Structure 1
Amino acid sequence: MSDVSGTPSGMTGAGGGNLLRITGMATGLDVDAMVKKMMAAEQTKMDKIKQDRQTVAWRQEAYQDIIKDLKDLQSSFLDSSSSDKNILSSSSFSPFDVNGVNGAIANISASAGAVPGNYTINVTGIAQGAGVINQLDSGISLSTKLTDKNPSLVGVLNLNLTVNGNALKIKIDNSSGSMTLNDLITTINNQGSGTVKASFNELSGKFTLQSVKTGQSAKMQISSDSTSDLTDFLKINPLDIGVDKIGSNANFTLQVPGDATVYPVNDKESNNFSLNGVNYSLQGPGSSTVSISQNSQKVFDKIKGFIDKYNAIVDKIQTKITEKKNYDYKPLTDTQKSQMKEADITAWESKAKAGILRNDENLQKILQDLKESFSTAVTNSGLSFGKYGSNSIGLNFSDEYSKPAHIDIIDEGKLKSAISLNSAQVQKMFTNVSSTTFDGSYDSSKTTYREDGIFTRVKKILESNVGLTNVISNKNILTKYANYQDDFSYFGGGGTNTLPDQLYQKDKLIKSMTDALAKKQESYYQKFSKLETAMNQLNSQQSWLTQQLGG
């Protein structure tokens, strides 16, 4: 058994500490050995508590390892800040490649419903917001102070606008006289509330003040009581004051595969729109031809990549919650470790950790939730999970009894065919987001759950257990249990019994027992000390009597 730590007396044996004891000289007893044996039962209790604490610590490590894997799945496939790492993005389910894009004219991508072939777009005008575009005086740059061109532009200026029927007052504070054109633009954009924007092109020397909304329905009016000096600085024509300036629609022609007709289009109020499964983002005038070709393999690879990583995690969790515990292997005591080689300690502890998460309720729940996210049909997707039925996409749960949540691609041909022929339905089945809201638990009894796609469900389940993607939070189901301590009570036992709470309680108990054992051990030494004193007195009396009797 290991010695009691923190004992304030003795130097050898069970005594420990810094004091030098010379005991047993009168009685001939090995006091240290006897005290150690008398403390053995108490030390066994202490070792048991320390072993229990080690078990809790191992559970925490095992939990944190699983949380790490789940967070890795999130960051690899559910990161909304990166289209490459967001399997829920439309681009992840677009079974097409687009070649020949000229980003100066139009950015073009393909989604469900697109027809492979060549697309030619000729842009003569992009959609514009309502407002003015004016050529400023030569020599003006973003760093030019307003007062450099007009010394009277000092103080608080009233730039009054009416944007799409709503009055907007921009307060421009140039009391210091140090405001630059760049400061002015920043002020307008900050106070524009997302409805108006200003910009300046240092190459062309043009200043733009327009509504954010584009198209012919967009309107902007610069009020007649605007500061004349400021409008002069910005070269706003007096004829533009008090007059509704109207935005313009995009103007272009489009030729699509299988049709020789060149279609003129002038009804798009935005530069970003979709036509027949092709997404356009107009950038400027010019002609561009792109080639769209079908590539269902990349969607298949994306789905397979997610499933492979998902399977590795659910299989690991399943192993942990069904792993049997070997009760012959318990956490080693300090004394046991001192008598073993490092390799032997590692091997022992590996066996002692087996079954550490067996039948864990939290892990059983998340495993069941993840399994249900696949098995529950997605409303109106037209496709199904499982091996049977004409609308099956070739995915099913594993036949292996030991892997109940594992997903197998049992028919690659079916999945690839669905991606190629029914890409919109495949996308809906995996990524649809319900338009309804739900209260309470998120489960298959709710309309929101049934309308959500499979990967959308997985995303929400992970968030409830380990928090948002790329966010560290200790307030979710698994992360709270593994990492959050809310018990700081004096005696312990006042929290929600998270693993940190349990460690805190064990530490409090160990400290309390250490103090008690130290006192008990000291009392044993005090008793033996008194015995030594009594024996010394007896020996002295015997010696005196012997002398008196002439011995």
Structure 2
Amino acid sequence: MSDVSSVASGTTGAGGGNMIRLTGLASGLDVDALVKKMMAGEQTKLDQAQQTQQTEQWKQEAYQDIIKNIKELQSSFFDSGTSDKNILSQSNFAPFTVSAANGSSTVDTSVATFTPIVGAQTGKYTVSVAQLAKGAGVTNTLAAGDTLATKLTDITGTSEKSFGLILNVGDGNINITLDNTDGKATIGDLVNAINNQSSGYVNAKFSELTGKFTLSSAATGKSSTLTIVNGTSASLSSIIGFSTDTVENKGAGLTTKDVTKDGVTTQFVVTAGDWKITSDSASNYKVNGSAAIQNSQNADVTITVPGGTSVHFTDTPGSETGTQPGKSTNNFTIDGMSYMLSSEGTASVNIGSDTSKVYDKIKSFIDKYNSIVDDIQTKLTEKPNKDYKPLTDAQKSQMTTSQITAWETKAKVGILRNDDNLEIMLNDLSTAFTTSVNNVGLSLGRYSSNNFGIDTSKDYTTPSHIDIVDPEQLKRAIATKGDQISKMFTNISAIPNTIAKDGTVEYDSSLGQYKEDGILTRISKILQKNVGYTNTTFNSAILTSFANKQYDFTLTGTGGKNTLPDQIYEQQLKIKDIKTKMATKQEKYYQQFSKLETVMNQLNAQQSELSSMLGS
């Protein structure tokens, strides 16, 4: 913080330059000391404004620390990108272990991955995969030696400035464009263009090992389609593997041609110089010697569950009685078991019981949650010590570094006392635990007949704290009421969001959606409301925007919203104004003393002249 000497920089001379000020030579007065005393009132105003700014900056830092801790909680327990870090994933509430059925120490996942969720059985599961689900596609083998860095013009033999590809997936067209103005577009660029511009509906890849370029629909199953549509650059046919030469009778009109191989018929449609390829074939075959159509197909898989019951999912005609249609995807869940098929073959696992996994997950969340809410509660209730205010620069100059640190630690106490935003958030979090979840049959509390060993703290100083009051009871509930425990924590209501008049989503305990949501689902939404979604930093959430977003730009005519950056900015403007006024007033005082010096010099000169005359 500044004293009067600092605000006068640039105006140290009577003329306002950077001269060294020489004062009091004639009068014998300590002008600097006198001016400093005369400026003491203004210096106090400056110190107070800077202390206020420092307090607001400390408050901002405290907010940012809280936000950081909550974001860490989100990253550890609400990251939807990985089930291990997403406590809302049903697999985290499935009290099961997965082990190899053949006694191996590791589970082979080359054919299938088994993930038990709530509802699975203990015992042996087996899958036999005769055929994976696939999407529709085209595969073409390029010239030997082609790599991802091979230029498209070297393959097509043209000098086109751009390449276009129009694909139809389902009911909509996808337009792919690739700039080739410099003639340097490569196979790798084409692969990236298709994957980046198709919004996940189409997959393109090129293998440098086999030389195969593959284009396929991301969706699998026999109902999935991929169509290369009129308007596609004809030169790309040499890469994708089809051209207008594939069929006869090309003309200005629409021409169709049935191609039959091994008793399987596929229809090609050609319009003018462009082309369109579709297939309703149930098998793959070569066209023009290099291109192959990959027809969509369902997975053919047999599942055997504990107890020996088997179900065959197939589309093969004449299959045995009791079969079901083939699976349209390689990832599916049936009766509490999630299957992810990877290749053809047979795989088996043993499913065992393990309540400790679910218990440990719940406990680890509660421990982290409590550390955050207890810390916030402490900050909301601690009283500030009025004897410890932010230090001025003058005070700091008289102290050691350790003394300054110790002082500021005490000065920061109580800066978040009774903070509205934090109090509302803690109340919302507490309500998320104490409000019953509809249609579950469990409730929080020590004495409820349907409790499951968890309750709010009995300590009135930590009202948001959650206790596992009976660990064994919680473990029993996990083992015997697994479905209820899962719904109690992770249920997601099917009721749509309630939208307020201002366009924001309403979410409170009065809404049907809230009452059906599980406890942790509520917690996740409350945290999103206050600090934004998991793995996001800059957002418009309540705490984040209050701590970090500046709306007030007074100098440009934009009004503020009293966020902490707004408050800090306001103090900066106030400090700037005080310093300007201080500099003006200080210069005024020095000018007055300068005039006094001038008068004193004149008097001294007259006195000297008079003495000289009398002496002579």
TM-score tier by shorter-chain length is 0.7 to 0.9
Which residue in 2 is equivalent to 1:421? 480
Which residue in 2 is equivalent to 1:116? 122
Which residue in 2 is equivalent to 1:280? 339
Which residue in 2 is equivalent to 1:251? 300
Is 1:533–2:589 an aligned residue pair?
A: no
Change (3 A) 1:391 1:491: same
Is 1:397–2:456 an aligned residue pair?
A: yes
**Aligned with 2:108 (options 102, 112, 127):** 102
Change (3 A) 1:339 1:187: closer
Distance 2:198 2:598 in 1: 94
- Pairing 1:298-377 to 2, within 5 Å after superposition: 298-377=357-436
TM-score of the pair, normalised by structure 1? 0.83
| Per-residue Cα deviation, 1:12-31 (whole angstroms, up to 9, x for no partner) | xxx997523131x4433322
SS at match of 1:280: strand
Distance 1:432 1:63 in 2: 31
Distance 1:451 1:295 in 2: 28
Distance 1:520 1:158 in 2: 72
- Pairing 1:129-528 to 2, within 5 Å after superposition: 214-215=220-221, 227=243, 229-230=245-246, 237=260, 239-242=264-267, 244-246=280-282, 249-257=298-306, 259-266=307-314, 267=324, 268-270=326-328, 271-435=330-494, 436-440=496-500, 441-490=506-555, 494-528=559-593
Q: Which amino acid aligns with 1:478?
A: L
Q: Give 5+ residue unaligned stretches, structure 1.
A: none
TM-score of the pair, normalised by structure 2? 0.75
**Given that residues 133 and 207 in structure 1 are in contact (C-alpha distance below 8 angstroms), is that contact kept between their aligned partners in structure 2?**
yes
Which residue in 1 is equivalent to 2:318? none
SS at match of 1:274: strand
CA-CA distance at 1:121 after TM superposition: 2.7
Q: Which amino acid aligns with 1:486?
A: Y
Distance 2:552 2:165 in 1: 58
Identity of aligned residues (%): 50
SS at match of 1:538: helix
**Given that residues 60 and 482 in structure 1 are in contact (C-alpha distance below 8 angstroms), is that contact kept between their aligned partners in structure 2?**
yes
| Per-residue Cα deviation, 1:291-347 (whole angstroms, up to 9, x for no partner) | 101111111111111111111111111111111011011111111111111111111
Q: Give 5+ residue unaligned stretches, structure 2.
A: 101-106, 230-241, 249-257, 268-278, 283-295, 315-323, 501-505
CA-CA distance at 1:405 after TM superposition: 0.5
CA-CA distance at 1:537 after TM superposition: 3.0
| Per-residue Cα deviation, 1:142-199 (whole angstroms, up to 9, x for no partner) | 88999999999x99999999988x69799999x9999999999889888988777787
**Given that residues 159 and 227 in structure 1 are in contact (C-alpha distance below 8 angstroms), is that contact kept between their aligned partners in structure 2?**
no
Distance 2:174 2:34 in 1: 92
Q: Which amino acid aligns with 1:475?
A: S
Distance 1:156 1:539 in 2: 92
Distance 1:322 1:157 in 2: 66
Q: Which amino acid aligns with 1:48?
A: Q
Which residue in 1 is equivalent to 2:65? 65
**Given that residues 331 and 340 in structure 2 are in contact (C-alpha distance below 8 angstroms), is that contact kept between their aligned partners in structure 1?**
yes
Change (3 A) 1:373 1:148: same
CA-CA distance at 1:540 after TM superposition: 3.9
Change (3 A) 1:208 1:380: same
| Per-residue Cα deviation, 1:468-492 (whole angstroms, up to 9, x for no partner) | 2111114221111111112121399
**Given that residues 104 and 284 in structure 1 are in contact (C-alpha distance below 8 angstroms), is that contact kept between their aligned partners in structure 2?**
yes
SS at match of 1:490: helix
